[in-house]
A and B are shown apart, each in its own frame.
Chain A
Amino acid sequence: MTELIHILINGHAVTVKPGTSIAAAVLNAGTTAFRKSVSHVPRGPVCGMGVCFECRVKIDGIEHQRSCMVLCSEGMVIETDV
């Protein structure tokens, strides 16, 4: 619980506590638009438990990852779509 984790969100360095989900880290960093919907409007997390797929982001180059289901780990690179 002591070591903090360093990640990049849209190019900005962010430090989070262990056990933090990517969704929580992105929201804490002030980003509310996680992805663009098919008609290009911003969307963010809804269900918080992996069902709705609204919180999808790019994690380490892989797109369409559910950010609520993945915990931050050291050096992760997160990109939101908006």
Chain B
Amino acid sequence: MSDLTPKQIWIVGAGPAGIAAAEAALESGATVGVIDENPAPGGQIYRALLGVMKPEIQSRVDALHAKGVLFLNQTTVIDAPAVGELTVKGPNGPERLRYESLILATGARELFLPFPGWTLPNVMGVGGLQALVKSGLDVSGKRIVVSGTGPLLLAVGAYLKQKGAKVVRIAEQAPAQRIREFTQRLVGYPYKLGQGIPLMLSIGATVRTSAWVERANGSHVLESVKINSHQEPIRCDYLACAYGFEPNVELATLLGCELHRGFVEVDETLRTSVPYVWCAGEPTGIGGIDLSEIEGKIAGYCATGNEKAAQRLMPTRARWMRFAAMLEVTYALRDELKTLPNPETILCRCEDVSIEQATEWNGSRAAKLHSRCGMGPCQGRICGAAGRFLYGWEHGTVRAPLVPVPLSDLTERDPELTNHTN
């Protein structure tokens, strides 16, 4: 591969942080490519509805395309075989890419916690159900319970209602008093308050605080849920349940980036502990869309040597970090949630390992070796996160491939370096 000038930047993730990073890196004159698993850019928050993105997001993506940014969609990073190299798997099979700077904008997934019946079909995540609706799931006339924690419950509840669903209950585990205090402090964030008010008007009447799903009932599919604050089970077609977010730090971990409290450790320029690797958005700390956008910009500038442009964004970042801290306190998970699963409740959904089997051993590594907990296709992304909340499990080790791939992709493990420069 020939020398590249300008600088070759690869960004992993095409959500808010990734798109913002691409814009900033372009301003510095870099050659920019964005790798993303999904069929189209946008990540979760900017996910297109049946292939159609919001016009303001589409125009940003169009502008990036027009300026030569290469989007590798449906492409997953599976390995980091050497310094400055990634192995990715896309529609045309595995290939190797070389980067001079790498920006990790890998986002977050939802935190799912086990309770009896959580493995029944039609028990889903909150963002999970919304993502399915955006990709064509028809929820009109469906009875839906939304539960878990955080402002996303309201946003998704209102979204489902708008799509014709009957949102029969929103069960928020946080206590009313903490949410009231949070709401009062939102006056410092009028634009967030402006987002919240219409949601409350739409769906507020169905919300119960200090409420959570104790059990999902059904034989082969969800039929009803039992909420702590209700005597009778509530009949429903879908349960959307998630307890906040879990950062996607697998690639960062594979690269050797230091973590702190489960998040990628970065300095104020969003540089990780690994040379030439930056990180932006949820993997540095759960903060939502506004913090992700700002961090994307900062990382995009700093990864291309334009720290001066990044400097003026630092106060805005600090402001959204304060907002993130407010969210963290408001929606902290209550200890009662740790008592929901029975001994026979499944913890590892891939390998069907029960709570009893997984906790016979001390820690996630021992559980893995003895019970296969965390050894299935999701590689512990679901049960590992639950185990960290329930039992204080340590983060497991991360090995390539980062997602399951056919054996043939590994036997042809040294594909030619691909030159994607345009």
Contacts and interface: CB of A to CB of B under 8 A. Distances in A.
Contacts of A48: 124-125, 127-132, 135
B interface bracket (residues with beta carbon within 8 Å of A)? 35 or more
Contacts of A23: 132, 135, 137
B200 interface: no
Interface in A1-56: 1, 16-21, 23-25, 27-28, 32-34, 37-39, 41-54, 56
Interface in B374-422: 376-378, 381-382, 404
A36 B4 CA distance: 49
B124 A45 contact: yes
A18 B51 contact: yes
Nearest to A82: B220
Interface stretch (B37-45, B160-168, B294-302): B37-45
A38 B352 contact: yes
A54 to B, nearest CB: 6
A67 B378 CA distance: 14
Contacts, number: 128
B122 A32 contact: yes
B123 interface: yes
Contacts of B50: 1, 17-20
Nearest to A21: B135
B121 A33 contact: yes
A49 B44 contact: yes
B136 A37 contact: no
A68 interface: yes
Contact of B221 (A38, A42, A52, A69): A42
A24 B136 contact: yes
B127 A49 contact: yes
A39 B52 contact: no
A5 B74 CA distance: 20
A75 B44 CA distance: 28
B138 interface: yes
B128 A17 contact: no
B98 interface: no
Nearest to B135: A21
A23 to B, nearest CB: 6
A42 B123 CA distance: 12
B202 interface: no
Contacts of B128: 45-49
A64 B129 contact: no
Contacts of A39: 352
Among A21, A37, A51, A53, residue most surrounded by chain B Cβ atoms (within 10 Å): A51
A19 B136 contact: yes
15 contacts: A19-B48, A20-B135, A23-B135, A24-B133, A28-B136, A28-B138, A44-B121, A47-B110, A47-B382, A49-B38, A53-B350, A64-B377, A68-B135, A70-B39, A71-B51
